[in-house]
Chains A and B, each alone.
Chain A
Amino acid sequence: MRSITRRDFLKLGAASTALLAVESQLSPIARAVELVDGGRSVNRTSGLPRSFLPSTCTQCPAGCGIIGYVEESRLVKIGGNTKHISNGSSLCARGQAGINALYDPDRILVPLKRTGTRGENASWKPISWDAAYAEIADHMSSIRANPSQFVYLTDDLENDGLGRRFAHAFGSANALGAAGVYDANKRVATRLTWGAAGDMPDVANSKYILVFGANPLESHPQFVGFAQRLINGMQNNQAKLVVFDTRLNNTSARANEFYYVNPGTFALVALSMANVIMQEGLYNRNFVEQWTNVSPQQLAQSLAQYTPERAQAETGVPAAVIRRIASEFASTFPATTVSDSMISNHVNGTQTERAVMLLNILTGNIDNRGGLCLPRQYNVADAQPAPPAPAPSGLAQPANLPLASLQAVAESLPLLKDRQKYPVGVLMTRGFNPVYSNPDNAAVADTLKDETIIPYHVAVSPFMTETAALADIILPETTYLEDWNIEVRPSPEQVPFVALRQPVVPPLESSKSFFDISTDLAKRVGGGMEQYFAFKSVEDYLKARIASVSGLAAAGGLDYLKQHGVWYDPKSKPNYGSFAAGGFATPSGKLEVASARISGLGFPAMPAYEPITAFTNLEEKDLVLTIFDTAIQTDAKTANCMWLDEIQHNNPLWINPDTASKLGIKDGDKVKILRSNKTNAEAKERSVETTALLSDGLHPKVVALANGCGHTGYGSIAQGEQTPKDKIEKVLQNPNTELVWWGEKDGIGVNAKQIVPKAVDPIGGGQAWGDVVVNVAKI
């Protein structure tokens, strides 16, 4: 991760100009209207103002700034934090629905100890925190001499500083994040090429936006902040939007031009465009010569094989379109690409991301205003004294994936079955639900059920997720709305910020924040780890964390964050072209178009198109499954939110009418989706059943299922069941729980991940969600 220092920032004549510029980009209409756009809320009946606190949303990875509005200690409304540089007053449906998670009728409010066997026959009895801690400390003490037998599994390792600290303080390197099932390939592709994990296209200031398999108007790592800037770019800056995808979605629906691409062949579209740009001399010669580690001759030679005619034959995009779009992209400045999971979640995903990135490199659209920018994000150090990082383990860094980040969770979990090599004493899961979210999740469940593989499983969770249901003990952590954390994200505004998550209401009943849980446990386990949890209060810990952020202390430090929710240097403006001073954070200091680290693994050093084996020789009946994210549900996380489920509670199979007709399938028919054996010869036969939704917005060889449905656990709301009031703890009561209607009427859909076998890109280590070949039949 790139760290930002004061010297990076260009000095501005007047600080007020910077503030004004930022404000006007955040909400261009705010100054023209007489009614205030956010920041306050009133009671509907009395009109009296509600008390409020700013915090950070974690309903999706974006981390938008929120304000919690409270009446009599109950959270009654969530709004956007007008002071937040990414999202301002805006929030998406998920952010608005966070109240549903806080008051989930099935929320766990006391520690639970399993009785009966793990899995289907488990039942739970409440125990005291004291008894729970004592039991966990016993188990952890028993592996004190072999600390790597402690495995900690979390969602967002970067922002889970406490979890990593807890594992490291115990002496275990096995703090595993979940990027491997999300965006690992993109992170590795960008890190290898320009030395920073991720990117941030400066779409608000771009003139030409070329989208490859991304759907930022429905799903993006910075969803609200990015979508509003993309629309601003189109509406205020007249940027042209061109989209390549396999299906119609909210982004391609908004595009000036949209082209369907054969699945898995996106790299060939990008490389043939790069070829055109080189052949026609449209590239930025100075930039390429100064800032890449290859010569124009090498590039031209490497790209010559990717002719538009070959691309047309293999991708389905007409050669004339490829030539024209390549020429438009290269002759409109600034321009940027936007790429995302639909291209990177393949076995060839890392190289595909690099192929798309090459278009920006050839045209000099790198870290410039309106181009593809480096992710601007504060690197908030761990609180001092920090525990020494233990030597990397084979779990955190699987030997077959030397270039992957420490989050190759799809690869890591199956490794646990090798008990000799990767013995586990205590597994702690928190915030991540692999039994829903991982590929071949039935196998993950089998692993977690097996007490010889996982002797002891502590779930830190406010909810009975599918993963928590396989624990031995559940510690009822608070939800994100009652907890503290320092939150950093890449800034869509290109000005880095530090945000605070603070309790907008106190912890419900006896639930505890993870700061309290980790501190209490560290003291009980002892053996030296307690010295890293000696903070007098969570605020002291947070103060120690933000100590490394230059400028924040002068602004008021933690007190400033508690009052405003977010801080950024008011004098800063986007430091475009930051690489000019010290080069890129790569071994050569240049953009590594040719990557020795990739060729060291036996793959082409240059961005290359590698056909996906599973897609070659597809038979007539074979279709490619796409699992897509919507703006309503976030993977395994949000299905306990009734307002979201009411909108998206099931997931029909989207299928092209011509394809359906050949299979004798009509709209609304029940269908079985069977994983074809081509995907993985060893994988067991797996299938799911849902209804067909005929749509002309699908490539004929592609069928699609939405993510986020089909939970097998996670409480009554996720199951679409009504809950009578008298079955619910008083603090969680809500008359709406008796009105839940969708389970009985429409069903709750299927978890598409059941039929996806584990398969990762050998370079980036990211799960190949998009490589599944299926057969579909009417039932």
Chain B
Amino acid sequence: MANKRYAMVIDMRRCIGCHACTVACKAEMAVPLEVNATWLKIIEKGTYPDTRRYYLPRMCNNCTDAICARNCPTKATYKRDDGIVMVDQHRCIGCKYCIASCPYDTRYVNPLKNIVQKCYFCSHRVDAGLQPACVETCPTKAMIFGDKNDTKSEVAQVLATNATVVLKKEMQTNPQVFYISADETVMSNVEKDINYRTEGTLIKIRI
């Protein structure tokens, strides 16, 4: 039997831009202030009166071909058999090569521990048979998570029956966070998304 391969689908037709995922992640992973493992990008596009808002919940893509894992000098970053990209906190020396390697800007230095962290798809919850914290709390159930190698799973079926996109496909990292109906503009320039994590203002970029 094939390995499990965990993947996330975020259906932007259901997302209401409420930040519940942002805060659920803070609580679940004890993420300190100043940094975020999950956050929400919001943009406004168009001119009055034809203006729209678009959102993009952001987190580590847990890439199948993770550049960060390849570049980590101490092998602190490694991949589990189920595809989740982990950081072994005891091996991490805080060199930040992984941060420089990540095309998606999803890693951060924990200001209290001086080690690099990110989203692990709530591996501890997954191991206990639970959905990740953001998926559980999402008010409109816009997030779908599961084993995409199990063809009967919700996530496999959603992936099979919907057009999905990933961030920076051209980097060939094979991201495991997929989006349905995400706006092109909100998906661009994600390497600059650091602003959303550290400034926290509701809307930072207008286009």
Partner-binding segment picked from A14-22, A374-382, A739-747: A739-747
Q: Check B139 against A696 for contact (C-beta < 8 Å).
A: no
Indicate whether B53 reaches chain A with its CB closer than 8 angstroms. yes
Q: Check A647 against B202 for contact (C-beta < 8 Å).
A: yes
Q: Looking across the interface, which residue of chain B has its beta carbon closest to that of A78?
A: B27
Instruction: Give the residues in chain A near B137, CB-CB below 8 Å.
Output: 79-80, 89-92, 95-96
- Once bound together, how far apart are the Cα atoms of A228 and B202, in whole Å? 22
Q: Check B18 against A695 for contact (C-beta < 8 Å).
A: no
- Once bound together, how far apart are the Cα atoms of A40 and B147, in whole Å? 20
Indicate whether A658 reaches chain B with its CB closer than 8 angstroms. yes
Q: Tell which of B16, B44, B112, B200 touches A248, judged by Cβ atoms closer than 8 Å.
A: B44
Q: Given A97-B23, A695-B206, does the pair A33, B131 have CB atoms closer than 8 Å?
A: yes
Q: Check A253 against B153 for contact (C-beta < 8 Å).
A: no
Chain A, range 221-262, C-beta contacts under 8 Å to B: 223-224, 227-228, 231-232, 234-235, 248, 250, 253-254, 259-260
Q: Check B140 against A231 for contact (C-beta < 8 Å).
A: yes
Chain B, range 12-64, C-beta contacts under 8 Å to A: 13-14, 16-20, 22-24, 26-30, 32-34, 44, 46-49, 51-54
Q: Check A649 against B200 for contact (C-beta < 8 Å).
A: yes
Q: Given A34-B150, A647-B22, does the pair A99, B27 have CB atoms closer than 8 Å?
A: yes
Q: Check B33 against A741 for contact (C-beta < 8 Å).
A: yes
Interface string of B189-207 (1 = CB under 8 A from A): 0000000000111110010
Instruction: Give the residues in chain B near A87, CB-CB below 8 Å.
Output: 139
Q: Tell which of A42, A79, A99, A735 touches B112, judged by Cβ atoms closer than 8 Å.
A: A735
Q: Tell which of A97, A643, A697 touches B53, judged by Cβ atoms closer than 8 Å.
A: A697
Q: Check B130 against A34 for contact (C-beta < 8 Å).
A: no
- Once bound together, how far apart are the Cα atoms of A32 and B146, in whole Å? 10
Indicate whether B65 reaches chain A with its CB closer than 8 angstroms. no
Q: Tell which of B48, B141, B147 touches A698, judged by Cβ atoms closer than 8 Å.
A: B48
- Once bound together, how far apart are the Cα atoms of A43 and B29, in whole Å? 10
Q: Check A693 against B203 for contact (C-beta < 8 Å).
A: yes
Instruction: Give the residues in chain A near B128, CB-CB below 8 Å.
Output: 40, 42, 47, 49
- Once bound together, how far apart are the Cα atoms of A78 and B24, in whole Å? 9
Partner-binding segment picked from B100-108, B119-127, B169-177: B119-127
Instruction: Give the residues in chain A near B30, CB-CB below 8 Å.
Output: 44
Q: Check B20 against A90 for contact (C-beta < 8 Å).
A: yes
Indicate whether A646 reaches chain B with its CB closer than 8 angstroms. yes
Indicate whether A431 reaches chain B with its CB closer than 8 angstroms. no
- Once bound together, how far apart are the Cα atoms of A631 and B19, in whole Å? 8
CB distance from A255 to the nearest CB of B (A): 10
Q: Check A29 against B20 for contact (C-beta < 8 Å).
A: no
- Once bound together, how far apart are the Cα atoms of A736 and B31, in whole Å? 9
Instruction: Give the residues in chain A near B127, CB-CB below 8 Å.
Output: 47
Indicate whether A644 reaches chain B with its CB closer than 8 angstroms. yes
CB distance from A665 to the nearest CB of B (A): 15
Instruction: Give the residues in chain A near B52, CB-CB below 8 Å.
Output: 248, 253
- Once bound together, how far apart are the Cα atoms of A686 and B188, in whole Å? 43
Q: Given A42-B130, A630-B202, does the pair A643, B136 have CB atoms closer than 8 Å?
A: no
B interface bracket (residues with beta carbon within 8 Å of A): 35 or more
- Once bound together, how far apart are the Cα atoms of A228 and B11, in whole Å? 13
Q: Check B111 against A739 for contact (C-beta < 8 Å).
A: yes
Q: Tell which of B13, B16, B23 touches A643, judged by Cβ atoms closer than 8 Å.
A: B23
Interface string of A628-658 (1 = CB under 8 A from B): 0011100000000011101111101000111
Indicate whether A554 reaches chain B with its CB closer than 8 angstroms. no
- Once bound together, how far apart are the Cα atoms of A49 and B146, in whole Å? 21
Indicate whether B145 reaches chain A with its CB closer than 8 angstroms. yes
CB distance from B46 to the nearest CB of A (A): 6
Instruction: Give the residues in chain A near B135, CB-CB below 8 Å.
Output: 37
Q: Looking across the interface, which residue of chain A has its beta carbon closest to that of B36?
A: A646
Instruction: Give the residues in chain A near B16, CB-CB below 8 Å.
Output: 217-218, 227, 231, 250, 254, 631
Q: Tell which of B46, B126, B141 touches A696, judged by Cβ atoms closer than 8 Å.
A: B46
Q: Check A696 against B144 for contact (C-beta < 8 Å).
A: no
Instruction: Give the residues in chain B near A232, CB-CB below 8 Å.
Output: 140
Instruction: Give the residues in chain B near A79, CB-CB below 8 Å.
Output: 133, 136-137
Q: Check B153 against A34 for contact (C-beta < 8 Å).
A: yes
Q: Check A37 against B139 for contact (C-beta < 8 Å).
A: no
CB distance from B115 to the nearest CB of A (A): 15
Q: Given A79-B136, A260-B49, does the pair A696, B18 have CB atoms closer than 8 Å?
A: no
- Once bound together, how far apart are the Cα atoms of A231 and B139, in whole Å? 10
CB distance from A277 to the nearest CB of B (A): 25
Instruction: Give the residues in chain B near A126, CB-CB below 8 Å.
Output: none
Interface string of A548-577 (1 = CB under 8 A from B): 000000000000000000000000000000
CB distance from B114 to the nearest CB of A (A): 13
Instruction: Give the residues in chain B near A29, CB-CB below 8 Å.
Output: 141, 144, 154
Instruction: Give the residues in chain B near A145, CB-CB below 8 Å.
Output: none
Indicate whether A27 reaches chain B with its CB closer than 8 angstroms. yes
Indicate whether A77 reaches chain B with its CB closer than 8 angstroms. yes
User: How many residues does chain A have at the interface if contact means C-beta atoms less than 8 Å apart?
Assistant: 78
Q: Check B53 against A739 for contact (C-beta < 8 Å).
A: no
Q: Given A90-B138, A227-B139, A253-B52, does the pair A96, B131 have CB atoms closer than 8 Å?
A: no
Most chain A Cβ neighbours within 10 Å, of B27, B53, B142, B146? B27
Q: Check B202 against A746 for contact (C-beta < 8 Å).
A: no
Q: Tell which of A40, A90, A254, A741 touches B139, judged by Cβ atoms closer than 8 Å.
A: A90
Instruction: Give the residues in chain B near A742, CB-CB below 8 Å.
Output: 200
Q: Tell which of A34, A38, A741 touches B34, judged by Cβ atoms closer than 8 Å.
A: A741
Indicate whether A371 reaches chain B with its CB closer than 8 angstroms. no
Indicate whether B157 reaches chain A with its CB closer than 8 angstroms. yes
CB distance from B9 to the nearest CB of A (A): 11
Q: Check B146 against A35 for contact (C-beta < 8 Å).
A: yes
Chain A, range 80-120, C-beta contacts under 8 Å to B: 80, 87, 89-93, 95-97, 99
Indicate whether A700 reaches chain B with its CB closer than 8 angstroms. yes
Q: Check B22 against A228 for contact (C-beta < 8 Å).
A: no
Indicate whether A591 reaches chain B with its CB closer than 8 angstroms. no
Q: Check A42 against B140 for contact (C-beta < 8 Å).
A: no
Q: Tell which of B23, B147, B157 touches A34, judged by Cβ atoms closer than 8 Å.
A: B147
Q: Tell which of B34, B49, B201 touches A746, judged by Cβ atoms closer than 8 Å.
A: B201
Indicate whether B68 reaches chain A with its CB closer than 8 angstroms. no
Q: Check A93 against B153 for contact (C-beta < 8 Å).
A: no
Indicate whether A681 reaches chain B with its CB closer than 8 angstroms. no
Q: Check B48 against A648 for contact (C-beta < 8 Å).
A: no
Instruction: Give the residues in chain B near A658, CB-CB below 8 Å.
Output: 48
Q: Check A35 against B200 for contact (C-beta < 8 Å).
A: no
Q: Check B28 against A35 for contact (C-beta < 8 Å).
A: no
Q: Check B14 against A38 for contact (C-beta < 8 Å).
A: no
Indicate whether A587 reaches chain B with its CB closer than 8 angstroms. no
Q: Check A38 against B17 for contact (C-beta < 8 Å).
A: no
Interface string of A715-730 (1 = CB under 8 A from B): 0000000000000000
Instruction: Give the residues in chain B near A347, CB-CB below 8 Å.
Output: none
- Once bound together, how far apart are the Cα atoms of A631 and B53, in whole Å? 15
- Once bound together, how far apart are the Cα atoms of A91 and B13, in whole Å? 19
- Once bound together, how far apart are the Cα atoms of A341 and B157, in whole Å? 41
- Once bound together, how far apart are the Cα atoms of A478 and B129, in whole Å? 34
CB distance from A46 to the nearest CB of B (A): 9
Indicate whether A694 reaches chain B with its CB closer than 8 angstroms. yes
Instruction: Give the residues in chain A near B27, CB-CB below 8 Å.
Output: 77-78, 96-97, 99, 643
Indicate whether A414 reaches chain B with its CB closer than 8 angstroms. no
- Once bound together, how far apart are the Cα atoms of A339 and B141, in whole Å? 24
Q: Check A697 against B23 for contact (C-beta < 8 Å).
A: no
Indicate whether B72 reaches chain A with its CB closer than 8 angstroms. no
CB distance from B159 to the nearest CB of A (A): 13
Q: What are 10 of the A-B contact pairs (CB < 8 Å)?
A: A33-B153, A38-B131, A43-B124, A77-B28, A79-B133, A96-B24, A96-B26, A231-B142, A646-B200, A695-B51
Q: Interface on B for A, CB 8 Å cutoff? A: 13-14, 16-20, 22-24, 26-30, 32-34, 44, 46-49, 51-54, 111-112, 124-131, 133, 135-142, 144-147, 150, 153-155, 157, 199-203, 206
Lowest 9 A-B CB distances belong to which pairs? A253-B53, A739-B33, A32-B154, A93-B23, A217-B16, A96-B23, A231-B140, A631-B18, A696-B51
Give 8 A-B pairs besides A36-B129, A92-B139 with Cβ atoms closer than 8 angstroms: A33-B154, A35-B146, A37-B135, A42-B124, A49-B128, A90-B139, A630-B202, A741-B34
